[in-house]
Structure 1
C-alpha cells in the first residue's frame, strides 16, 4: 500500500513555554522517532482547521520529543496558542533541506537571526554546542528583536551568554527599549554586523546563516557582500507561503525553485537572480 504523504501522524503536546506575548514553544511527543537536520520544518495540523509549516527548534539529537516555536499570526497558529498540555496535533515531515552542515562543520560560523527567526537557529546552535563545534571553531550569534519582551528563548540565551568559551560569542540588540531594562545594543541586527566587521573579517573561511524577516535578510546580505563575503557561503532560510510541503501545490515557487523542497535554506549564489528583495 502506498503511504498517503498528506496524512499526519498524531503527536501529544507534553510541554508549553510562553516565550513572548505572541510566541509559544510546544514540546511534542511523536508517535515514532524522526531524523532531521537543523533548518528543516514540520507541517503541523490542527484538526478541523488546517495545517502550517513550522521550523523545528530543538536539537536533532532528540528524535522522539521535538520542539516547535510558533508565532500567533493566523487561524492555525491562533488555535495552537489555545492548546493545552495533553492535546493532540497532527505532524507531517520533516521537510526541506536544512542548513548545510557539510559546509558549516570545519569553519567558523556566524548565525544572524531576527525575531522568531531564532527558532531554526536554536536547533543549529544546540547541535553545534552538543557536538563540540566550539572546541574547534568560532561560533557567533547576532540576534535582534523589536523590544526586550519580544526576545525569544530568554532563559536559553542567558545560558549561552554565560558559557565560558572564547570561541562562542553572543550579541543582542533590540529596535527600541521603551521603559524596559536592557543591557545590550539598541538598533537593527545589521548594525551588529557593521559593529563587528573588524572581528568578522578575521574569521577562518566563515559561513553566514541568516534567519528572519525578508527586510532583515536584505540588509544583512548587503552588508556581508560589502565585506566581500563569499557568495556561496551566505545562506538564508526563506519565509514563503507554503502549503503541501512536498512541492505539489506550487504555492511557494520562486522562479524554478520550490521553497518547501529545494529550500527553505538557499545560498545567495544559488538564488541571487530570483531574490528581488535583495536588490532595491
Structure 2
C-alpha cells in the first residue's frame, strides 16, 4: 500500500514538474505580413509665386518686404525680385570722369518694424521639377535721360556676387554659378549674371551683389578711399554696384527730375 502511494506521489510530482517546465517554454507565434505602398505625384505649378526674401539669409517662412515693390514674372521658372539701382539724387556735379555707387536696397525684415539695408539682389525660383538649368541676364544701353537731356556712354559695373538657397539646399554642386569677376553692362548686350547648368538650379535662390556690412567710406574722390574727410553724399553706399559717367558729358542740376535708364532682366531655360 505504501509502495503504491509512493508511486502515485512520484507520478504526480513528475506531471507537475512537466507542467511547470512546459509553461516556462516560450510560445512560438506565427507572423504574417502584407506589403502596401504609399504614393505621391507632382506637377509643376505655372501659377505659383514666391515672396521676396532676405537676400543674405533667405527663409521662405520669413518674407522680406522691400521698399521698391518687385515686378515678378510668372511661370514655374520665374524672376521673383529684380533690383532697382538708385545712385542718389544729391550727387555733386563734376566735369571729369566720376564713379557713383548705388544706395543699398531697403526693406523690413521678418519680425522687425524698421527698415534695414540689404545688398541689391536678384531672386529666382525654379519649380519646374528636377535640375533642368537656366540663366539670368541683364542689359542696358548706357544712356540716362531726363526729358530731352542725356548722359551717354555710361557703364554699370556689378561685382562681389554670391548665391544663397531659399530651399535649404546644402549640396553646393547643384547651386547656380555666378561670375568671379566684375560684369560691366553698357552696350545693350545681354550679360549673364546667374547660370545653372543641367543638374543645377532647382529651388529658390537669392544673388546678393556685395554685402550689407561692406559700405563706402565716403572718403576720397569717389567715396571709397581711406583718407580725407567724409562726404555724406558718398558714404554708406554699395561698392558692388558702380555707375561710371565718362568725361565730356554736360550734366544738369535736376534733383527734381533725375536721369533714368532702363535695365532689362531676362530668365531663360535656354542654356
**Same fold per TM (> 0.5)?**
no
Structure showing the higher helix proportion among its residues = 1
Scaled to the shorter chain, the TM-score interval is under 0.3
Whichever of the two has the greater Rg, that structure is 2
Q: Identify which of structures 1 and 2 has the higher relative contact order when contacts are C-alpha pairs closer than 8 Å and 6+ apart.
A: 2
What TM-score does the superposition give when structure 2 sets the normalisation length? 0.23
